[in-house]
Each structure stands twice: as C-alpha cells, then as structure tokens.
Amino acid sequence: MTAANAPASRRIQATAKAVILVLFVIAAFVLLRYTPARNYLSAEVLGNLLHAAGIWAPIIYMIIYAVGICLFVPGTLLTGLGAAIFGPYWGFGYVWIGAMIGASGAFFIGRTLGRDFAAALIGDRLRKYDDAIARNGFAAVLYLRLIYFPFTALNFGMGLTRVRFWDYFWGTALGIIVGTFIFTFFIGTLKEVWSSGDWSRLFSFQVLFSVALFIFSFFIPVIIKRYRKAPGG
C-alpha cells in the first residue's frame, strides 16, 4: 500500500467500524424491543432466575448487569433488582461491580468501533475539547458521573473521545459510588420492610434515613454545578 492510499484506507476502515457500531446499537434495540428476549427483562422473571441460581446468583446477576449495560438495558431496573434481591449492602456491592464491568465493556465497544470515525469528524473547533478531555479525563468523567449524566450514553460516548481508559475507569468508579449506594440503600431498605410485613418499621431510623438520602440525591447535581461555578471552584 502506498503512502497516498493509506489515508483513504484508514477512512474506509473507520467508516466500516462506525457502521458496525450503528448496527450493534440497532440490533440491541431490536433484540430488547421486538424479540422474546424482552420477556426476560421484568423484575419478576429476573428475580425468579436469580433465586433459582442459589449461591451462583451474585455472579449471574453481575454478568446480567454488565451485559445489560452494553445492550442499553436501563440501569435503574437492574440496580433496583439487585437491591431488592440482595439487600441494601450486598446489593450495593454487586451493583457497583456489575456497573463497572458493563461501563468498561461499553467504553471499549465505543473506542474500538467508533473512535477513528469520530476523530475524522472532529474539526478544529471541537478538537480543543477532545484534547481537554484527554488532559483532564479523570476530573471530566468524575464530574459527569456526579451530576448523573445518562450512564449508558456516557459509557459509549467517552469511548469516542481521547480520554485514557484508566482515567475513565477511576472517574466512573468513584463517581457512581454515592448515587449507587443511595439508590440501593433506599430500595433494599423498603424491600426488607415489605418482606417483614412489619409496617411499623416504615418509621424506623433506617427507613427515614434511606428516604432522606434518596431525596438528597436529587440535589447532588445542583450542588456540584454550583460548586464549580463558585469562585475558586
């Protein structure tokens, strides 16, 4: 291959990868919307599957979570399921691990199939932002996670940028801890009260604390944004 043909070849390869990425997204949508696979996405069906798995349930759950994230299954469904089945504390651990595996997988899909094409489309005006993300990848990812930027979109989107994987990984790992814990603690606590049948526990410190944390979680993005806008922030 001559030097003159090399750029054209790279453009063709980048375009081919981008087409595969688009087809992957379409296939995931069709699979979960128009095939029998969608019947397995209910909390009842997944819950029965995990209950029947016995001691393997945590591993199966984390695999389902990771694959689900790569196939655009809503994270709230998978997180709520984990909290309801495994409780507020173990549920948090399994959700966090599954989310990290899924987020990493989605990042590599975006990076492998879409980065070259995205780089070819970036003009001079956008290149400075791409360079800034590469220089401040950890801080950028951490900030976007803390303000609850759509989880799946960010997973694939960051793969299209120059951000280094480990900056993305640690920014995600730290950035989702707070929100994940609050949500799993809230759902898991309410599930424990429901299972016990003792409705007086609705007024226990643990339940009231979980509700307070859940409400507080909605203010986290506002607090983070105001902090960044403050002088010296």
Is the pTM higher than 0.85? no
For residue 201, the model assigns a pLDDT of 65
For residue 199, the model assigns a pLDDT of 66
Total number of domains constituting the chain: 1
Please state, in angstroms and as integers, the Cα–Cα distance from residue 45 to each residue in 27, 38, 52, 68, 189, following that order.
Answer: 22, 11, 11, 15, 21
For residue 173, the model assigns a pLDDT of 95
List the chain pLDDT tens, one digit each, 233 residues: 454 455 667 778 878 888 998 999 899 889 888 888 777 777 778 888 888 888 999 999 999 999 999 999 888 889 988 998 898 899 999 999 999 999 999 999 999 998 877 777 665 556 777 787 888 889 999 989 988 888 989 999 999 888 999 999 999 999 999 889 888 888 888 887 777 676 666 667 766 777 787 787 777 777 776 766 655 55
Q: Which domain holds residue 177?
A: 5-229
